[in-house]
Structures are given as structure tokens and as C-alpha cells.
Amino acid sequence: MESETETATGIPLIGDEFPDLAVETTHGTLSLPDDYEGEWIVLFSHPGDFTPVCTSEFVAFEDRREAFEARDANLIGLSVDRVHSHLKWVDWIDEEIGVEIKFPIIADESGRVGEQLGMIQSGAGTSTVRAVFIVDPEGVVRQVLYYPEEIGRNIDEILRSLDALQHSDSEGVATPANWPENERFGDRVLLPPPGTREDVDAREAEADAEGYEQYDWWFTLAEQ
């Protein structure tokens, strides 16, 4: 079911269900998110084929593809170019840079998908921005990132975000800034703040026994 926010804006936001989409790609027709049920999706858009920053990003994504796959995450690219443009471009990348792009790229020639996902860049015709949607195995949008046309993405940060989301889901914790390499707290995680006075008392009582570092009942660090 669409959230009120999604219905009003047309753009799926964090916590919304990713919309059902039938898309044409370099790997054939895909149904999103159904074809990846039970797995994570990292869908990212680029302004256009045969452009320098986008080319560097696709090489970087492919260089990390196995790292994403090890986390049960599937990479999918997108731009408003046609399938044959995508195919020619990935051939060029293979021939000139020596990198074979093995993940699918959506051909959104009409701009329909880009419009629906809020990827169309204002004032730039139909060009898609550098957007990233991380979608969980239940088809829920968990993270949305946007980058300007002139700045390439940091692929390691996208991987870090995926790690943090998966760790938070599995352990019921939050992650501090720069986790797992926080300058002050290392790779420790943050326990969710207690919601009742009884929970506060229990947290304080168990802090020593569990080895928590407790600055206060609402700011408690634990080893992961």
C-alpha cells in the first residue's frame, strides 16, 4: 500500500514500498521489486551514457559488485538512454577500460521510471540525477541518496550504508557516525533508548554486567 507521502509526491521515500515497475534492461525485461524478492536492491541512476563521471562510477560499481552480491544486494543502473546505447557504452567500457559491466541497466527512454522515482533533474530536460535507492528484501525503501551531476558517488559509502542497515535489522541497534570506524567509539553500536522508566532502570542495572559503556541511559554503547 502506498504511504500518504508517496501518494502526494509521487516519489517513494524512506519507509515507503518501492513501486511495482516493469522495466526494459540490458538483461531483458525485469519486474521490480518482485524479481528480487528476498534480496536487497541498490538502484542507481546516472545522467547519461558516454559521459566521464558516469563511466567512472560504473567501473567503480562493477569493481565492488561482488562485495554487494556477498551482502545479497543486486546492483541496477538506470538512465533515459535506449538499450542499444547502454549496450554500446558497456562494450566501450569493456574494450577501452577492461571492465565488463555485469549488472543490468534500465533503459528509461520515456523518462517514466525516472519521473516516478524523482530522478529527473530540474532544469536539465529529461536527464536523470545521480540518485541511489536501497530497497530491502521486503521491497521497502530504506535509504535514498542524491548527488549533483558534477560529483561522482563514493561506492564504499553505499556499501557502508548497506552494512549498517543490515546490522541494524539483525541486531536491533543503531550505528554511530562513521561506523564501523568511528574516531571515538570504534565499531561499537548504540542501543535504542529505553521507552519507559522501568526500561531505564533495567538498562542502568545491566550496564556493568553486559559491559556497556554508558554515558547516560539514552546514550549507551555496546560491542557488536
Kindly report, residue by residue over 181-200, the tens digit of the pLDDT: 999 999 999 999 999 999 99
SS (H, E, C) 34-89: HHHCCCEEEEEECCCCCCHHHHHHHHHHHHCHHHHHHCCEEEEEEECCCHHHHHHH
User: How confident is the model at residue 124, as a pLDDT?
Assistant: 56
- Residue burial 94-117, b: 16+ Cβ < 10 Å; e: rest: eeeeebebebbbbbbeebebbbeb
Mean per-residue pLDDT, 3-27: 80
* Fold match between domain 4-153 and domain 172-224: no
The CATH number of 172-224 is 3.30.1020.10
Torsion over CA: 148, 149, 150, 155 (sign): positive
- CA neighbours closer than 13 Å in the CB half-sphere of residue 128: 31
Q: Which residues are catalytic?
A: 54
Question: What pairing do the DSSP bridges indicate for beta strands 105-107 and 73-79?
Answer: parallel
Joined together, the cell numbers standing for residue 213 give: 559503556
The CATH number of 4-153 is 3.40.30.10
Mean per-residue pLDDT, 79-107: 97
Check pLDDT > 50 for residue 6.
Answer: no
Check pLDDT > 70 for residue 137.
Answer: yes
- Select from 171, 119, 131 the least CA-distant residue to 42: 131
Mean per-residue pLDDT, 83-89: 98
Position of cell 577500460? 97
Amino acid at 155: I
Selected residue with higher pLDDT from 144 and 126? 144
Torsion over CA: 12, 14, 17, 19 (sign): positive
Question: What residue ranges do the domains of the chain occupy?
Answer: 4-153, 172-224
- Give the three-class secondary structure for 191: coil
- Tens of pLDDT along 154-174? 999 999 999 999 999 999 999
How far is the C-alpha of 199 from the C-alpha of 38, rounded, in Å?
Answer: 34
83 burial type by CB count under 10 A (0-12 exposed, 13-18 middle, 19+ buried): middle
User: How confident is the model at residue 108, as a pLDDT?
Assistant: 94
